[in-house]
Amino acid sequence: MSDSNNDSTRTSAVRSPPGIVSRIRTYFLTGLVVAGPVAVTLWLIWWFVTWVDGLVRPFIPGAYRPETYLPVRIPGLGLIIAFVALTLLGFLTANLIGRKLVDFGEGILSRMPIVRPIYRTAKQIFETLFSKSESSFRRVGLVEFPSPGMWSLVFLTQSPTEQIAGRLPASEYVSAFMPCTPNPTTGFFFYVPKGDVIELDITVEQAMTVIMSAGIVQPTTAPPAPSQLAALAETARAAQAARKVEPTVVK
């Protein structure tokens, strides 16, 4: 009885090398972890550059386009021109003459019945997003939505104005925007009592990552570090080495 137990123990201690399918899977996952983020990043950069080029290129005369003199089309020219134009516009707006021109243009847009609300709303959004005021998304919280016991991530801004707060029940309210998954550009906006909000100690970027990944990536989950990638590579090398080692059968 003891001999059979010893034989089974020695047999279980012998680890057979992984099969070809297991090794291919390990190699594939290692390559995917390394190349996947790089491919997605390059694709997004390429999409943005070509999108800006498509907007700016029609305004460039054909004689000034590089493809007129070169056999290939060079991407990025529109992005460079847009960057220079926006920087020059900001420089001109900073002086008195530029400010006068901007005020004159805003005055014309403010007198157009249909254009006026669109322009004012867009201007407030851009001023809010690119300012460091408390009205922009600086805090992340949890609210009980859509039913009791279920919690959703929201971005908190400032308190409502006196005109709105005076119509609300007696309590301190905050403005909350709850984006949808996986498209955070759409969602719900509402005023919620401050006491019903659980503020989180995470950044807006971390919360956006959670929403866009549908919870797959959590705030405590760090991106693959070089040591983790090295561990995957080591696993692949170990699988390759095990293929060359024949198991020793203990009799």
pLDDT tens-digit profile of 140-182?
899 988 888 889 899 987 778 888 888 888 788 888 888 888 7
Global confidence as pTM: 0.54
In a domain, 185, yes or no: yes
Structure token digits, residue 162: 């006196």
In a domain, 33, yes or no: no
Domain hosting 216: range is: 133-221
b/e 93-113 (16+ beta carbons within 10 angstroms → b): eeeeeeeeeeeeeeeeeeeee
In a domain, 24, yes or no: no
Mean pLDDT (the chain) is: 76
Lowest mean pLDDT among 103-117, 158-172, 211-225: 211-225
Structure token digits, residue 159: 């308190």
Query: Rounded distance, CA 34 to CA 32, Å?
Result: 5
Instruction: Kindly tell me the burial class for residue 83, based on how many C-beta atoms sit within 10 Å of its own C-beta (0-12, 13-18, 19 or more).
Output: exposed
In a domain, 4, yes or no: no
CA dihedral 239, 244, 250, 251 (to 10 degrees): 140
Work out how many domains the chain is built from and give that number.
1
The residue that leads in pLDDT, 210 or 18, is 210
The residue that leads in pLDDT, 97 or 137, is 97
In a domain, 229, yes or no: no
pLDDT for 112: 83
In a domain, 154, yes or no: yes
Residue carrying structure tokens 């609210």: 143
Question: What are the Cα distances from residue 119, in Å, to 56, 125, 137, 186, 215?
Answer: 21, 10, 21, 20, 36
